[in-house]
Structures are given as structure tokens and as C-alpha cells.
Amino acid sequence: MNAKTPNAIDSYVGSQVRMRRQLLGLSQERLAEQIGVTFQQVQKYEKGMNRIGASRLQRIAEVLNTTPSFFFQQDPSEPLSLAGLDLTATTDPVAEFLHSKEGLALNKAFIKITDTQLREKIVALVKAMAQTQVAADKSAASSNQ
């Protein structure tokens, strides 16, 4: 591995730190201040360029109100594995969306909804809209042939 290429796990952990920080609306500067580093160091952590030590990861978890294991989980039921973490591999579209500006905004808003039935109705609405979009796309594709 090239010395300038981030390790796949370091990149993954860093992206989880970034996602959690953004979800909480915390700036890199504020996180850096609370964990005792510069914001440039936080940038390097989030890009995977610098490895996060155990005690620093524990502190980051405390500030971001989560556990250190959160940063290693790909799926709540599975521990981190090297499978699928190749930096050149295509990214998971769900993870990519969750890391986008729209994904973060949607998740922040959705988390604030406490009514379970309302959440279920929103999910049903979005699924219905997606099915309508897929059907419209198929119809447009077949009419173009």
C-alpha cells in the first residue's frame, strides 16, 4: 500500500465520524475543540489520512454521543469486515445518500418525528413516489425505443 493512500478501515471510520458529526450539526472546529486537536486534524481523521488512536476514538464517541463500536459497524448486526471496503470499489448507494447533504437533512428531519404511525406513513409515501417514478422512467424508456 502506498504511504499516501489511506487504509480502507481508517477511511471508513473517518467517514462514520464525519456522518455522525454532521448529523448532530457539529462543525469540524467544534469537534476539534472538544477533543483537543486542530480542525485540520479532524479533517485528516475524517478522510482517513490519519489513524485515530483508541483513546481519541473514545473521546470522539463521547462528544458525538455514541459508542466507539458505532464507527466500525457497517450494519447494526454485523461487525466491520474488510469485505466491500476497497477504496476503488463502487460505493453503496444508501451509504452514499446518507453522506450527502440531502440525506443528512432528510435524516435529521425524520429523526425529529416521534409519532411512529406518522413515520410509517412517510415511508409508505416515499415508497409510493419511488414506484411511480420507476414506472414513469420505464414508460419513457419504452416510448423512446
Instruction: Render each residue's pLDDT in the chain as its tens digit; 145 residues.
Output: 556 788 888 988 999 999 899 888 889 999 999 999 999 999 999 999 999 999 999 999 999 999 998 888 765 455 444 444 443 444 556 667 777 778 878 888 888 889 989 989 988 898 888 888 878 878 777 777 6
Q: Tell me the one-letter amino acid at 26.
A: L
3-class secondary-structure state, position 26: coil
Classify burial at 143, counting beta carbons within 10 Å of its beta carbon; exposed 0-12, middle 13-18, buried 19 or more.
exposed
Residue with cell 457539529: 26
CA distance 17 to 46: 6
**Domain spanning 8-88, CATH class:** mainly alpha
CA distance 119 to 132: 20
Q: Which pLDDT score is estimated for 91?
A: 52
Q: Which of these, 98, 75, 78, 84, lies nearest to 23 by C-alpha position? A: 98
Q: Which of these, 70, 50, 73, lies nearest to 60 by C-alpha position? A: 70
Domain parsing of the chain, residue ranges: 8-88
